[in-house]
Amino acid sequence: MTSIGIIGSQGRMGVALAAAISEAGQRSCGVDRGGSVAKLAASADVLVDFSSPAALEATLDACVAAAKPIVIGTTGLEERHHYLIDDAARDIAVLQTGNTSLGVTLLAHLVREAAARLDPEYDIEIVEMHHRGKVDAPSGTALLLGEAAAAGRGINLATCSERGRDGVTGARGHGKIGFASLRGGTVAGDHDVIFAGPEEMITLSHRAENRMIFARGAVKAALWLIHQKAGRYTMSQVLGLSDRAAAPA
């Protein structure tokens, strides 16, 4: 039986993770604000973190010290957090993703394939909606899908995206990837990737009906990660999907 440690075990995702771990026949343990992440890392076989970017550095330090792998599903990460993850991945196995859903992982693969095969005349727009309490935008999933589209096109998302259009913005930039964020109600997470081409439109979509899809995916990732050597991994690897886009037809 694998012991999976939960960072933020009393939060909404923490509760869902505990249920998913039990469902998978494994054992859960956890820590919350004020508790010792170091003690949790020492006792667990692998950790899962959906807490906050502010706590990530201390969590990574504890995992490296205990030589334990970690799945990071926390969103709102900045560039410096990715540097910290890269550094930790020299010593331990780290899987970081904007979404642990198996369906979203497959969607990202399809988006990358579509972006590679459709020419730049197909404009790419990503629309996401989440509950009123979500604090970051675009969502981590939307950015994950944007990165997949950019990889398919062979472009850099950081320099080829459009966000927050308002007022007289001028015509849409050719080859840009657009983002729109909606907030309201109790929506767990809806995402549409639109390929708007000449006289036709293709939409690839995912609807999250319950947080359990993220929890189950995270548990699958954690059980996979404990068998990996030090390095940085993705959900695509958990499903055995290629991270490389197909060549344009």
Report the pLDDT averaged over residues 182-207: 96
pLDDT given at position 243: 59
Q: Catalytic pick from 130, 176, 191, 220?
A: 130
Higher pLDDT, 242 or 79: 79
- Please state, in angstroms and rounded to a whole number, the distance separating the CA atoms of residues 182 and 231: 35
- Please state, in angstroms and rounded to a whole number, the distance separating the CA atoms of residues 75 and 78: 9
- pLDDT beyond 80 at 94: yes
Dihedral sign for Cα 111, 76, 19, 12, please. Answer: negative
Residue with tokens 């995912």: 206
Reply yes or no on whether 130 is catalytic.
yes
Average pLDDT of the residues of the chain:
93
pTM of the model: 0.82
- pLDDT beyond 90 at 242: no
Reply yes or no on whether 68 is catalytic.
no
Residue 158 exposed, middle or buried by CB count within 10 Å (0-12, 13-18, 19+): exposed
